[in-house]
Amino acid sequence: MATSVLWLALSEPAGPPGSGRRRYGAAMALHASGALSTAQLEAYREAATADAVEPFRVMADRGLTPPVPPAPDAAARLAHLLAETDRCLAALSGPGIAETRTLLAAALLQKPDPRPGRANLVVETHMETALEAAKTIDPTLAAAIAAATGDLTWITYDAYPPAQIGPHFTRSHAFCSLIGATAPWRASDFDLGLFLVAPGILYRDHAHPAPELYLPLTGPHRWRFAPDGPFRTLPALQPVWNPALKPHATLTGALPFLSLFAWTRDVDQPAHVLPASDWSLYE
């Protein structure tokens, strides 16, 4: 693992299960490279006995100066984000997760090729609020997203006919790819990234040939899987698997919708809107 990525792993927030061991593992590698002193390494070892113990507090109690990490570059920020994405997925089960992780594994063995970041008004308006909520769900992944947001090419999807997808969704969402045809990690028929939608927005009923996994990092939000059907309220970290051509719609809640997504094949095949009679009730 590159030294810059180790420094990012070392800064993982205290509290999440396993975070103490992960920080200590990064500290051992940095100590071996000469970047940490033996006394600093011992502080990380002691902090690893409980995930909630902050290593810098242990160092302060011992009169030690905390290490000063170098500023990470875009490649390191992206690599850390992809590794944290895989860690989050690995803790879950359900349809599509194993398939997604198998496809993701090839990217983890490669170095990213950072693309020019692209700002987006939806991201500028709603990402901070979304990440504040995501911190309560997975603070480590939320921090990795926050660090890499400016390195990502955010796109507002414009392939839906406006008259079909409705006036609100078109100006209220953005997505970016980590893995894909033009993403930092190249793949010919796999797309994995982040999806952001403003609060209170109906993503109308639609379907596509690509099987799709969503992993919402905020919630609750509402979902349905047949036009004109009832909506179900689902919490954050509840995976949603949409098989090929399965109808689905999302109605975002009071918080912005921030989610991981993956299309596992047929990514070049377009989505199409499925008419429903009740859209006016939700828009």
- 210-250 pLDDT per residue, tens: 999 999 999 999 999 999 999 999 999 999 999 999 999 99
pLDDT attached to residue 157: 85
How large a percentage of the chain has pLDDT more than 70?
A: 99
Cβ distance 133 to 252 under 8 Å?
no
pLDDT attached to residue 37: 93
pLDDT attached to residue 1: 56
pTM to 2 decimal places: 0.84
The mean pLDDT value of the chain amounts to: 93
Mean pLDDT of 100-127: 93
Strands (E), the chain: 173-180, 185-186, 191-197, 202-207, 212-216, 221-224, 232-234, 240-242, 248-251, 257-263, 272-273
